[in-house]
Amino acid sequence: MKIINIENSKELYLSVDQYILEQSYFCFIDWFLVENILSFNDYSDWRVQKINYIDDCINLSEHQLINLLKKIDNYLTKLNFTAHNEIFYSWQNDDLTQLCISSNTNFNQLLSAKWVRNKSIPQFDLFLDSTDELIRYDIVESIANQKYGKAKEHLNKLVAMTLQQEKKPEIFTSYQQLIDYGKYIEVQSIISREKIIFEIEKLEDIISPLAQNMMNIQSKEYLLYAWKWIARSSSKYPFDSNNPITHSSYTFLKLSDYKSAVNSITEVPNYKNNTILLYRLVMSYAALGQREKSMIHFCLLWELDNQFAISQLEKQTKFEPFLQPLVSLLLEFNGEFDEKYLELFPAYVFSQQSYLVHSKDLLKLLNNEKTLCMISLIRKKLEKGDEYKLRKEIQSFHVRLLQIYLDTID
């Protein structure tokens, strides 16, 4: 399942607008990755030429893809954007092989388009009028495509030019560090669990800020490739509750590979009793659009440790669009109940999202008597049975909870 409903034009255009706001351009392949229409695993296999064409990996039918391309092309044209051909190169060492998105010439042309706002094109040209800026652009482009030999050649040119002009050379070290790190992860095999912690800290604290500063929007592929490298090692080790960051689910979330995150978590024995894994599962299901699973697993997390659940939801910003339904429910609940009634939140969730009672297998996860009572009451209502005893029981928990249930049902 995908985050957005591609048949819903309003939702589709909002997603495109959000992408443009963050990136300043539009690229179909990159957007597919963001929206989980294309997995990063398939994308990276294509970039290293394990598969010839990537269009077969796009999770849309041909009919859906054609309609999507038409909708977005028309929308971007109305926004005064112009399409330019984006060239994708192989990630294999310094191989300059150009990749094909599709065996279909028309699809290949449409999907390789990089849409840029018309008014930004002259500015971009002016930006490149300076020879040293042009070389810097070539360095960044080469690093983003894992062409570290080419990047080093361009960097040497920049060094020679800068020394002649007697400019400050601080920028050399930053580019060289990115090149060295890229070459470093190319030759690394599986690393130990202890080293995974070191490499994650290095990537998050040093390399990521440096890449974002020096490469801007082109840092994304460079960093994704680095996380993919760590994921290869973290996938080899079982979950360690003392070092949860070393579990592959952490890196899969960094890669936005939510399906793999779900699989890696559910393979862990007793994952249902671990708050960190449960919250990662909640985020993954939410990102995949599997709202029922996300909601019910969050209720299970709440049963285990509601303070942890609250703290994670409050500090999580990256996944806000996916978790907004939960955030909204929590804000509404806080407006109705004192903190001493936090135990009632899952029951409140079911009172507001009654469709959840149809998820019979998932409901077996829950144990709180107040939540189960609310589920039984909603089911009794659907069966048109006698609700009196269950209503009295809900009222004994909190009279306002019964009133909210009645207002929602009405």
DSSP 321-345: HHHHHHHHHHHHHHHHS-GGGGGGH
**The dihedral sign for the CA sequence 222, 227, 229, 232:** negative
Instruction: Give the model's pLDDT for residue 166.
Output: 56
More confident residue, 256 or 163: 256
Domain span at residue 352 reads 270-409
Lowest mean pLDDT among 39-48, 236-245, 337-346, 361-370: 39-48
State the chain's mean pLDDT as an integer.
87
| Predicted local confidence at residue 189, as pLDDT | 83
Question: What pLDDT, on a 0 to 100 scale, did the predictor assign at position 123?
Answer: 45
Q: Considering the domain boundaries, does residue 360 fall inside one?
A: yes
Query: Over 50: is that where the pLDDT of 265 sits?
Result: yes
Domain boundary among 99, 119, 139: 119
- More confident of the two residues 78 and 124: 78
Last residue of a domain, one of 92, 119, 146: 119
Residue 7, amino acid:
E
User: Token match 């997390």: residue?
Assistant: 301
* Among 4-13, 16-25, 36-45, 80-89, the least confident range: 4-13
pLDDT at residue number 308:
95
pLDDT range class, residue 119, cuts 50, 70, 90:
low
pLDDT on residue 410? 62
Distance CA 168, CA 360 (A): 66
Q: Does residue 264 sit within a domain?
A: no
251 has pLDDT over 60: yes
Global confidence as pTM: 0.77
Number of domains in the chain: 2
Q: What is the pLDDT of residue 91?
A: 78
In a domain, 157, yes or no: no
More confident residue, 111 or 23: 111
Q: What is the pLDDT of residue 126?
A: 42
Least reliable range by pLDDT among 228-242, 316-330, 342-356, 381-395: 316-330
Task: Check residues 102 and 321 and name the one with the higher pLDDT.
Answer: 102
pLDDT-derived band at 240, boundaries 50, 70, 90: very high
Does residue 214 register a pLDDT over 60?
yes
Q: How far is CA 144 from the centre of its chain?
A: 19
Range in 36-50, 73-87, 193-207, 334-348 with the lowest mean pLDDT: 36-50
Among 32-41, 129-138, 192-201, 216-225, name the one with the lowest average pLDDT: 129-138
Calculate mean pLDDT across residues 275-301.
Answer: 93
The span from the CA of 221 to the CA of 212, in Å, is 11
Residue 125 in domain: no
Question: Percentages helix, strand, coil for the chain, rounded to the nearest 5?
Answer: 70, 5, 25
Q: What confidence score (pLDDT) does residue 133 get? A: 78
Q: Is residue 27 part of a domain?
A: yes
User: Which of these three, 119, 140, 175, is where a domain ends?
Assistant: 119
How far apart CA 259 and CA 253 sit, in angstroms, is: 9
Q: What is residue 93's predicted lDDT score, i.e. its pLDDT? A: 60
Can you give the pLDDT at residue 358?
A: 92
pLDDT band at 167 (very low <50, low <70, confident <90, very high): low
Backbone CA torsion sign across 206, 212, 218, 224: positive
Q: Where are the alpha helices (DSSP H) in 118-247?
A: 120-127, 131-144, 148-164, 170-187, 193-202, 208-215, 219-234
Instruction: Give every CB contact of residue 83 below 8 A, 6+ residues apart in sequence.
Output: 73, 76, 113, 114, 115
41 found inside a domain:
yes
Q: Residue 121: pLDDT band by 50, 70, 90 thresholds?
A: very low
Residue 181 lies in a domain: no
Does residue 146 belong to any structural domain of this protein?
no
